[in-house]
């Protein structure tokens, strides 16, 4: 079996593909490595994909376009040792019968943990208390900003997906009441959660929650879905959390709402990344900023994809396969 490993040399390879994973990969077949210090260009992917059976990818791999696939005379599996494949594969990949798998479930579980951490930090004002203590605010003035806690809180989830489902499990011990807005979910899909309600209205979901957490994929339909009009529905004193994609939110409108100090926010993603040095978000004390780090999953994702390649080689069912229907709902920066 011929395997193409597209990740270049450098920090990403060292972090996500330690030597043990590469030794395990070499045992599965003839491995062609990207020995450069930068990702393949589309043209380089075209040249290297010929006679390849399996492609192991990570971030920054070029899109598997029709032009690339014309050179993929043997390709049967794309194994992505990261999360979404929305900006990696295309409809044509599925039309050719090429199987696609990713570590999306593993990354999603880690992100859900991050969401819980962000919410707890947000409702308890941990970053604010820390800033004030370091600035030697008067003790009583610091303590006057009361934490709310998560126990019994009202949580609104905009979109669900894999991350949102893991978060529902993590939130159960807190006895929170949860409303979910996701037009793609069947009416009975959340029946196993007695404290979770599927809400047909985005407006109602936004206006109801003490905590608003975004979990929607970025698509043509969801780009700037959180418009100025929608953001105004969020109640005073609420917490707004975004670990999904920055472009789902009208960022200038969010900044204006935050400047009014109506609600607080924890942001892990932004419309433009890295966050610009002169972004007004950096000046606001009612927002906690993180550099797109909700997930801490690393080599575990690689081992999962190596195990998938082994299953593929033995003709066994894949455990992390991404169906075409699931792919269609994933974040994409291109028009299919």
Tell me the per-residue pLDDT of 20-76, one tens digit each, with 9 for 90 and over. 999 999 999 999 999 999 999 999 999 999 999 999 999 999 999 999 999 999 999
Look at residue 335 in the predicted model and tell me its pLDDT: 58
The sign one gets for the Cα dihedral 25, 31, 34, 35 is positive
Is residue 47 within 8 Å of residue 71, measured between CB atoms? yes
Look at residue 37 in the predicted model and tell me its pLDDT: 96
Catalytic residue among 95, 229, 273, 310: 273
Look at residue 65 in the predicted model and tell me its pLDDT: 97
DSSP E strands in 22-126: the ranges are 30-33, 54-57, 77-80, 99-102
Look at residue 255 in the predicted model and tell me its pLDDT: 98
Tell me, rounded to whole angstroms, the distance of Cα 325 from its chain centroid.
18
Look at residue 236 in the predicted model and tell me its pLDDT: 96
Is 314 annotated in the active site?
A: no
Q: What pTM was estimated for this model as a whole?
A: 0.92
Is 245 annotated in the active site?
A: yes
Catalytic residue among 271, 292, 300, 311: 292
Alpha-carbon distance of 11 to 17, in angstroms, equals 10
Look at residue 144 in the predicted model and tell me its pLDDT: 76
Full pLDDT tens readout for the chain, 336 residues: 999 999 999 999 999 999 999 999 999 999 999 999 999 999 999 999 999 999 999 999 999 999 999 999 999 999 999 999 999 999 999 999 999 999 999 999 999 999 999 999 999 999 999 999 999 999 988 887 778 899 999 999 999 999 999 999 999 999 999 999 999 999 899 999 999 999 999 999 999 999 999 999 998 899 999 999 999 999 999 999 999 999 999 999 999 999 999 999 999 999 999 999 999 999 999 999 999 999 998 899 999 999 999 999 999 999 999 999 999 989 887 655
**Residue with token string 């670990």:** 243
Is 325 annotated in the active site?
A: no
Q: Can you tell me whether residue 135 is helix, strand or coil?
A: coil
Alpha helices (runs of H) in 136-182, residue ranges in sequence order: 139-143, 161-171
Catalytic residue among 245, 251, 308, 320: 245
Q: How many residues does the chain have?
A: 336
Look at residue 336 in the predicted model and tell me its pLDDT: 57
Delineate the domains of the chain, giving CATH numbers in brackets: 2-103+297-328 (3.40.50.720), 107-289 (3.40.50.720)
132 Cβ contact partners less than 8 Å away, ≥ 6 residues apart: 141, 142
């Amino acid at each position: 079996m011929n395997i193409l490993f597209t990740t270049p040399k450098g920090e990403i390879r060292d972090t996500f593909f330690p030597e043990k994973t590469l030794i395990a990969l070499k045992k599965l077949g003839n491995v062609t490595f990207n020995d450069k210090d930068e990702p393949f260009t589309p043209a380089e992917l075209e040249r290297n994909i010929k006679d390849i059976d399996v492609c192991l990818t990570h971030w920054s791999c070029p899109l598997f376009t029709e032009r690339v696939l014309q050179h993929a005379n043997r390709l049967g599996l794309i194994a992505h040792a990261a999360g979404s494949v929305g900006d990696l594969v295309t409809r044509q990949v599925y039309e050719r019968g090429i199987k696609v798998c990713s570590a999306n479930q593993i990354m999603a579980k880690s992100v859900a943990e991050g969401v819980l951490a962000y919410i707890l930090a947000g409702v308890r004002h941990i970053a604010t208390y820390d800033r004030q203590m370091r600035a030697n605010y008067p003790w009583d003035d610091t303590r006057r900003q009361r934490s709310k806690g998560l126990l019994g809180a009202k949580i609104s989830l905009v979109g669900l997906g894999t991350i949102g489902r893991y978060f529902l499990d993590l939130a159960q011990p807190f006895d929170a009441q949860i409303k979910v807005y996701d037009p793609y979910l069947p009416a009975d899909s959340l029946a196993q959660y007695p404290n979770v309600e599927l809400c047909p209205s985005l407006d109602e979901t936004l206006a109801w929650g003490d905590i608003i957490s975004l979990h929607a994929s970025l698509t043509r339909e969801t780009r700037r879905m959180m418009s100025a009009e929608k953001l105004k529905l969020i109640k005073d004193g609420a917490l707004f959390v975004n670990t999904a994609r920055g472009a789902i939110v009208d960022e200038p409108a969010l900044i204006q709402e935050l400047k009014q100090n109506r609600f607080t926010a924890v942001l892990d993603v932004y419309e433009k990344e890295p966050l610009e040095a002169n972004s007004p978000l950096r000046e606001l004390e009612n927002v906690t900023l993180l550099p797109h780090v909700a997930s801490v999953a690393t080599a575990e994702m690689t081992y999962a994809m190596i195990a998938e390649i082994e299953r593929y080689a033995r003709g066994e069912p894949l455990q992390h396969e991404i169906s075409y229907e699931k792919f269609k709902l994933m974040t994409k920066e291109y028009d299919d």
